[in-house]
Amino acid sequence: MFKKILIANRGEIALRVIEACRLLGIRSVAVFSEADRHSLHARLADEAYCIGPPPARDSYLNLAAIMSAAEISKAEAIHPGYGFLAEDPHFAEVCEASGVKFIGPPRQVLELAGDKLATKRAVARAGLPTLPGTDALRDEREAREAARELGFPLIVKAAAGGGGRGMRLVRNESELIEQFHAARREAEAGFGNPAVYLERFLEGARHVEVQILADEHGHVVHWGERECSIQRRYQKLIEESPAPNLDDTLRRAICGAAVEAARALGYRNAGTVEFLVAGGEFYVIEVNARIQVEHPVSEMRAGRDLVVEQIRVAAGEELGYTQEQLELRGHAIECRINAEDPLRDFLPATGRVRVKGWPGGFGVRVDAHLYDGLEVGPYYDSLLAKVIAWGPDRESARRRLLGALRRLELEGLPTTRELCLEILEHPAFVEGRTTTRFLDEQWERTRR
C-alpha cells in the first residue's frame, strides 16, 4: 500500500480522497491555487503546496507544477479526482514515466475512452448495442448528407471530451449547419479538438449509467445503475440508484453490458459506462474513465467506499469479492447544489456564501467544500455541495432528501437548492417517469 498520495484536484472530491487516505493510514498531499489558499482541502491534508495563480490553466492544469509537488513531497501516487487532468492520457503517461502511480485507468484506456467514436467502435465489436451515427464529419456537405440518411431529430456530438460540452440537438435541416459549427467551436475551445459526429436522438430517452470497478487481475464488478436523466445543458443535477421503473430483466442486461464494455476496453480502476434507455432498448453512448461526481449514491447502496477501492486497486490489490458477494441495498438520491441561478439559464454566481443551516440525521450525507464565509470566485466549477439521502425504498429516500435540503440554508448567492426541492416534489419525479428533456419541458412548462 502507498505511504503518501498527492491529490491533483480541489473542492469536495479532494476532501473525499483525503478522507479515504486517512482511513487507509496514508498521508495526503494537497495542491492548491492562490485562490484556494484558505480552502478546506489545503487545510485538512497532511501537506499542502501552492501550484500557481487562480486560473486553472496556471494551477490545476499545470502538469509541471503538479509533478514538482509530487517530487518535493515524495508522493508515491496521484489521485486526479474528476475534471481537470483526470482523463488526460498524457498526465497518466508522465506519472508512469516518473515512477508515480496514477490512480485511474492506464494511458491506453484513457486514450480510447477519450475518443467517443473509438469507444463506440470497440463496444460494437464486442456485440453491444450503439446508436446509429456517423464517423467524424469533415465539412457541411458531409453533415447534410449524413443527417438526411439518419433522419431527424439528431445530436451533434464532440468526439472528444465530455460534461455535455460540444453537444447540440438538431430537430430539422434548417438548424443543422448552425449547430454543426457551434458544436465544433465549443469542442475546439473545450478540448482542443473540433471533431464532431452525428447520432440519432431518442425522444423520451432516459440517461442510465453503471458504476464499474476493475482490478489489475482481470476481475470486473458493477455497483448497480444510476438514473441521471435530470440534467441542465446535458450536465447532471439529480442522480439516483437504482433507476426507478426499470424492468429487472432490462436492469440486469444493462449492468451486464457495462461489465462487457469494461472488458472490451481493457478497463482498470473505477469508471462509468453510460447508456440511453428508451422503452425496452438500451444503447452504450460513452465510457467515463474516472470517478463520477455522483458516485456517493452507489456507495450508499453498496456500503463501501469507492475511493478506498480505487486506491486499493491502484496499489495492485485484488477486489476480494465477486459480483454475487456485492450486496446493493435500498435507494439513494443525490442533489447537486451549484452556485448558479436557474432563473437566468443557470448563470454561474460568485460571491461570499453564508451557511445558516446544515443537514443531518440518519441516512443523510453531505459532500461539500463549503464553510461559512467561503468566497466563490469565477475560476472553477460551480459545484458547492452534494446532498445525498438513503432509504430502504425510493419514497423514504425522497422524503429524507427533501428534509435535508430544507435544512440546508445558504445565503449570499443563488443556488440550485430551490430548484432541486421543486423537482423532488414534481409529479413526474415522484412517479419516476423523468427523461433527459425534463428540465426543458416539464419544469419550464410549470414555470410559465
| pLDDT, position 448 | 47
Which residue in 206, 290, 336, 398 is the catalytic one?
A: 290
446 pLDDT more than 60: no
Band of pLDDT at residue 441, cut at 50, 70 and 90: confident
338 pLDDT more than 90: yes
The mean pLDDT value for 180-191 works out to 89
**Which pTM was predicted?**
0.93
| pLDDT, position 444 | 57
Residue 226 is among the residues annotated as catalytic for this protein: no
Domains of the chain are: 4-87 (3.40.50.20), 132-200 (3.30.1490.20), 206-447 (3.30.470.20)
Contact between 152 and 172 under an 8 Å Cβ cutoff? The reply is yes
Give the tens place of pLDDT for each residue, 350-370. Answer: 999 999 999 999 999 999 999
Give the tens place of pLDDT for each residue, 370-426. Answer: 999 999 999 999 999 999 999 999 999 999 999 999 999 999 999 999 999 999 999
**Neighbour-count burial for 127-164, b at 16+ CB within 10 Å, e otherwise:** ebeebebbebbeeeebbeebbeebeeebbbbbbbbbbe
